[in-house]
Amino acid sequence: MRLKGAALDRIVPGGRNNAAPTLAAELTDRRLSVDAVRWDRLTFGIGLSYALLAWTMGYGAVLPALRDEIQMSSSVASLHGSLFGICLLLLATVGRHILAALSNRVLLAISVSSMFGGGLLFGFGHHAGLTLAGAALSGAGSACLVVLVPSVIFAHQPDAPGEAFSVLNTFPMLSSTALPLTVGIVVAGGIAWRVAYLVPLVLIAVGVVVVAGRSSVPDALHAEPISLGQLFRVPRFARRWAALACGVLVEIGTGIWAASIMVSQADASTSTAALLTAVFFVGMGIGRIGLTGLLRRRSSEWILTVSFVGVLISLVPFLLGPGLVGRVFGLGLLGLTLAAVYPLSLSRLFELHDDTEALGRAAAIASGVGVTFGPLLLGALSDVVGLGWATLVLPAFGVVGLLMIERTDPVPE
C-alpha cells in the first residue's frame, strides 16, 4: 500500500501530495524534521552498533597484512567481505521467518553478539579457515543489523527517519576512518595489526551494552504486509532499488580494495596504504555530516544525481593517478561524493511503501548484492586480468546507478 498525503509527509521529509507544497513550505518541513531527531539511548546504541559493524567489516585496512601473513589469494581475501553480502541475501530471503519469530530487541542482541564474536575469531585466527569463519559470524550479525535497523528507526523516529539515517551513518564512517589510521600507526610502530583490530573491537562492543543494554526497542509499524514480489511492482521501486545496489557495489568494492590498490598500483607500503585509505572514510564522514544541511536546500533527487556524477569524476584520479598523491586525492573525493548515495537511496526506497519490514528485507538484498559481488568480482577479476583492469567495474556500476535515477513526480492519490 503506497503512502499518501499526510502519511507520506510524516514518514518522508518533504514528501509530496497533490497539494504540491511550495518550496518555502518544503524547506520549513525539512528543518522541522531535522530538529525532530531524538537522541536517546536507543538511537545512540544503534549508532554504536553501526560503528561495531564497520569495525568488524573493515577488512580492507588489514587484508594486505593478513595476505602477507598467511599467503592467501585475492579471491579468498575478497571472500571475507563477500560473506557479509551472502548473509544479507540469505537472511533477507529464506531467513525472514526467523526474523518474524523473534522480537526486535532479541534480534539486536543477537546481532551485536555475533558481530563481536566473529570479530574476535577473525582477529585471533591464524589461518584462512578461522578468519573466514569469523567473517561469516560477523557477517551474519551485521546482516541482521542491516535488515532490522530501518524498521526500528522508522518506528522510533517517525518524524525524521531520513535525517536519522543520515546522521546515524556518521558512526560507521568514524569507525571506518579510525580503523585504517589505527592499523597503519600500530603496524608502522612494529606492533601486530591484530592488536589494533581487537582492542577497539572490545571497547565498542562494551559501549553498545552500556549505552543501550536496557533500552526498549519498538517493533515495526505497517498497515498492510506485502511480499517482495509485490514490492518490486510498486512504481519506481525497481529503479531506486537498483540505484541503491550500485551505490553499495562502488562503496564496498572501494572500501575493501582501496589499500590493495595503493599497494599494487602505486607501490605504497602496507602500513602507508592502510593509513591513506582513511581519506576515503574521512570524505564520507564529512559528506554525511553535511547531508542534512544540504537536504534543506536541494531535493534528494538532485543530490543523488550530483553524487553519482561526482563518483564517476573521482574514480578517474583514484584509479589512474597521477602517482600516489593523485590516487589519494581521488579516493578522498570519492568518499565525499559517495557519502549521500546510500542514505538517500535508502530513504527514497522507503518513500514508496509503509511496510518497513518488507522494505528492510528488499534494501538488505540490494546491500547483499553490492557487498557480495563488489569485492568478490574485483578479487576474481584481479586473479585473471590483474587488479588494474579489474577496477574498471567501479565506474561501470557508477554509470548504471546514475542511469537508474528517475525524475520524481508527485505521488498520485
Question: What residues make up the domain containing 221?
Answer: 5-403
pLDDT in single tens digits along all 413 residues of the chain = 333 333 333 333 333 333 333 333 333 344 444 456 677 888 889 999 999 999 998 887 787 778 778 877 777 877 887 788 888 888 888 877 777 788 888 999 999 999 999 999 999 988 888 999 999 999 999 989 988 887 788 777 777 666 777 778 778 878 888 888 888 888 888 888 899 899 999 999 999 999 988 888 887 655 556 778 888 889 999 999 999 999 999 998 888 788 888 888 888 887 788 788 889 988 988 888 788 778 778 888 899 999 999 999 999 999 988 888 999 999 999 999 998 998 889 888 888 887 777 887 888 888 888 888 887 788 888 888 888 888 899 999 999 999 999 865 444 33
Residues whose CB falls within 8 Å of the CB of residue 237, separated by 6 or more in sequence, listed in order: 231, 349, 352, 353, 362
Cα separation of 81 and 69, whole Å? 18
Say how many C-beta atoms besides its own lie within 10 A of residue 128's C-beta. Answer: 18
Cα separation of 75 and 373, whole Å? 12
User: Please, what is the end-to-end C-alpha distance for the chain in angstroms?
Assistant: 12
User: Is residue 183 in some structural domain?
Assistant: yes
User: Is residue 107 in some structural domain?
Assistant: yes
User: Is residue 409 in some structural domain?
Assistant: no
Burial 175-193 (b: 16+ CB within 10 A, else e): bbbbbbbbbbebbeeeeeb
Domain count of the fold of the chain: 1
User: Is residue 408 in some structural domain?
Assistant: no
User: Is residue 273 in some structural domain?
Assistant: yes
Local structure of residue 308 (DSSP, 8 states): H
User: Is residue 412 in some structural domain?
Assistant: no
| Residue 132 belongs to domain with CATH number | 1.20.1250.20
| Of the candidates 130, 107, 108, the residue with the CA atom closest to the CA atom of residue 120 | 130
pTM: 0.71
Backbone angles phi, psi at 350, to 5 degrees: -75, -10
Cα 268 to chain centroid distance, Å, stands at: 27
Q: What is the pLDDT of residue 30?
A: 41
Say how many C-beta atoms besides its own lie within 10 A of residue 122's C-beta. Answer: 27
Cα separation of 372 and 245, whole Å? 11
Q: What is the pLDDT of residue 18?
A: 34
- In this structure, what is the dihedral angle of CA atoms 363, 203, 63, 131, given to the nearest 10 degrees? -80
